Amino acid sequence: MGSYIPSTEAQRKQMLREIGLEDFRGLYKDVPEAMYLDRELDIPSGMSELEVARKVSAVAAENKVFPTVLRGAGAYDHYIPSIVRYIPAKEEFLTAYTPYQAELSQGILQSVFEYQTMICSLTGMDVSNASVYDGATAAAEAAAMCRDRKRRVTLISASTHPDVINTVRTYCYGTNDELRTVPVKDGRTDMDELVKMLEAGDVSGFYVQQPNFFGLFEDAEKLGKIVHAAGAMFIMGCNPIALSIMKTPAECGADIATGEGQPLGMPLGYGGPYLGFMATTAKYMRKLPGRIVGQTVDADGNRCFVLSLQAREQHIRREKASSNICSNEALCALTAAVYMSVMGPQGMAEAARQCMAKAHYLADRLCSLNGVSMRYGGEFFHEFMLDMPKIPQVLKALEENRILGGLPYDGGILWCATEKVPKEDLDRTVSIVREVLK
């Protein structure tokens, strides 16, 4: 059986004796007899490290690893620079607790402060928090920020990722608030419908994803104007790689910027852990949920960092807190900061440009095949919806060639291409699809 307990049998006996007990059972005298488990757990016996390594590796081998991934839909296969894997693996970063004791955790606090600064730069906003669980929960928390006593309704575009919509819906269910989805027209938010839905004057906030779930760029600036004209707040959920080259939420007049940070150095990991970023304008700083790191000085006047504005949080305000969120995704935020530092402004923009270029190249070449067409017109980033015949056969043929094709969705396929996919893989994909569709 594997164990991480340093004390030997002899030492345990000695400790028990010192506290006046015969055996371990005495430690649990407060546990009623009826509840004391009188049998062993029905799980396998423990194992040595070598056996565990073999067993778990065998389970991992049951998964199919695709060297080429052309599927996105909220989880993106970007190239992760080597050093980005090493730094968060440093034992201190990995095993430390939340930095409540500032004198012992300046390293973490400073790295979070740096992360917050980078998120502000990426989004153009004034203040960022230390992160939340993922892009979907960030959207839900942002929606909550918009509500006040008079306005409670949240609007969300139907062009948003279904998991984000459902998460926001769940959080609204929690607080007994209403969520309404704004219909989509030709793959984008229907602006006429949005205007109509804002007329009642009860909307607190509107959320749009940029680029949206179908990969398309929304006219965010115009959406923002419509929303503000109706007295509601504007939330933009953005792809962080795209932000390197696309109009920022700040430039679009957004009040709150959120997004899924997974593309910033986190592996696909079958869905997690990921990273939710949240940033806002100075005006709404105190409504931001979650941890925020602030700069101050110590008794000797040295610059230092602390968890700040804690009066917003659950450990102070308990049931009056705006959110129950207690932790963040610290190690993922660190990963994102390292990624952004390694890539730098040129690298980030280059990654974005290449994602876009490769997706457009793939789209053009696939659309040149018989029976294949773009479902929606207009500008897209690195994802696009195609209609084509024989979808299951296409995906199967790709799979046999170790390519994970686009996501079958709504009768079509939602494709994605990132900077990681070389031209020959894109060409190979097209050949395979051409073969199937012959």
Partner 1 sequence: MNLIFEKSVPGRMCTILPSCDVPQTDLADNLKRKSALDLPQMSETDVSRHYTELCRRVYGVNSGFYPLGSCTMKYNPRIDEQMAALEGFSAIHPLAPEHTTAGCRKVLETARQYLCEITGMDDMTFQPAAGAHGEFTGVLLIKQYHDSRNDRKRTKIIVPDSAHGTNPATAAMCGYEVINIPSAPDGCVDLEALKQALGDDTAGLMLTNPNTLGIFDENILEITRLVHEAGGLCYYDGANLNAVMGIARPGDMGFDCIHLNLHKTFATPHGGGGPGAGAVGCKEKLRSFLPGSAVKGHEGIQVRSFSGNFLVVVKALTYMLTLGRQGIPEAARNAVLNANYLMHRIKGTFEPAFDRICMHEFVLDLSRFKEETGVSALDVAKSLIDMGIHPPTMYFPLIVHEALMLEPTETESKETLDRVAEIFRSLYDLARKDPEYMKSSPHNAQIGRPDEVRAARTPVLKWTREEDS
Cβ 199 to partner 1, closest distance in Å?
27
Cα–Cα distance for residue pair 190/185, rounded to 1 Å? 5
> Which region, judged by CB under 8 A, interacts with partner 1, from 60-68, 149-157, 180-188, 223-231?
60-68
What does the alpha-carbon distance between residue 356 and residue 345 come to, in Å, rounded to a whole number? 17
Does position 63 interact with partner 1 (CB under 8 A)? The reply is: yes
Please report, as residue ranges, which positions from 313 to 342 form the binding site for partner 1 (by CB under 8 A). 313-321, 323-332, 334, 337-338, 340-342
Contact predicate 75/134, CB 8 Å: no
Nearest to 265 by CA among 328, 334, 316: 334
Q: According to the binding rule CB under 8 A, does residue 103 interact with partner 1?
A: yes
Q: Which of 200, 300, 371, 438 binds partner 1 (CB under 8 A)?
A: 300
| 4 is a contact residue toward partner 1 (CB under 8 A) | yes
Distances in Å between the alpha carbon of 94 and those of 4, 125, 269? 18, 29, 17
Q: SS3 of 58, please?
A: helix
Instruction: Choose which of 349, 367, 369, 374 interacts with partner 1 (CB under 8 A).
Output: 349
Q: Which stretch binds partner 1 (CB under 8 A): 93-101, 181-189, 198-206, 228-236?
A: 93-101
Q: Which of 167, 204, 212, 258 binds partner 1 (CB under 8 A)?
A: 167
Residue holding tokens 């502000």? 120
Identify residues 269-298 at the interface with partner 1 (CB under 8 A): 269-274, 285, 291-298
Told to check if 385 binds partner 1 by CB under 8 A, we report no
> Is residue 264 within the footprint of partner 1 (CB under 8 A)?
no
Considering only the stretches 49-57, 183-191, 366-374, 429-437, report the one whose residues sit in contact with partner 1 under the rule CB under 8 A: 49-57
Nearest residue (CB) to partner 1, 4 versus 150: 4
SS3 assignment, position 249:
coil
Which of 18, 22, 199, 400 contacts partner 1 by CB under 8 A? 18
Cβ neighbour number for residue 122 with a 10 Å cutoff = 26
Contact status: 250 vs partner 1 (CB under 8 A): yes
Helix (H) or strand (E) holding 49: helix 49-60
Site size for partner 1 (CB under 8 A):
203
Tokens of 64: 């199919």
- What string marks each residue from 132 to 151 as x (binds partner 1 by CB under 8 A) or -? -xxxxx--------------
Nearest residue to 74 (alpha-carbon basis) of 135, 138, 122: 135
User: By C-alpha distance, which of 436, 425, 350 is closest to 390?
Assistant: 436
Nearer to partner 1, 203 or 328 (CB): 328
Give yes or no for a cis peptide into 273 (omega within 30° of 0): yes
Q: How far is the CB of 361 from partner 1 (least distance, A)?
A: 4
**Between residue 110 and residue 129, which ones bind partner 1 under the rule CB under 8 A?**
110-114, 116-118, 120-122, 124, 126-128
Scan residues 218-237 and list those touching partner 1 (CB under 8 A).
221
Q: How far is the CB of 249 from partner 1 (least distance, A)?
A: 11
At 244, list the tokens: 């390197």
In angstroms, the CA 413 to CA 406 distance is 6
Its sign, for the CA torsion 276, 282, 285, 291, is: positive
**Contact between 348 and partner 1 (CB under 8 A)?**
yes
Contact criterion met (CB below 8 Å) for 179 and 156? yes
Nearest in space to 288 (alpha carbons), one of 70, 100, 138, 90 = 138
Angle at the Cα of 151 from the Cα atoms of 149 and 156, rounded to 5 degrees: 140
Task: Quote the least distance from Cβ 214 to partner 1, whole Å.
Answer: 13
Q: Are 102 and 306 in contact (CB under 8 A)?
A: yes
Cα(57)–Cα(46) distance, rounded to whole angstroms?
Answer: 16
Binding-site member from 9, 22, 59, 438 for partner 1 (CB under 8 A): 59
- Give residues 390-419 in contact with partner 1 (rule: CB under 8 A): 395, 399, 404, 407, 419
Smallest separation (angstroms) from partner 1 to the CB of 1: 5
Cis peptide before 408 (omega within 30 of 0): no
Closest approach of partner 1 to the CB of residue 232, in Å: 22
Measured from the CB atom, the residue of 23 and 199 that comes closer to partner 1 is: 23
| Residue number with CB closer to partner 1 (171 or 234) | 171
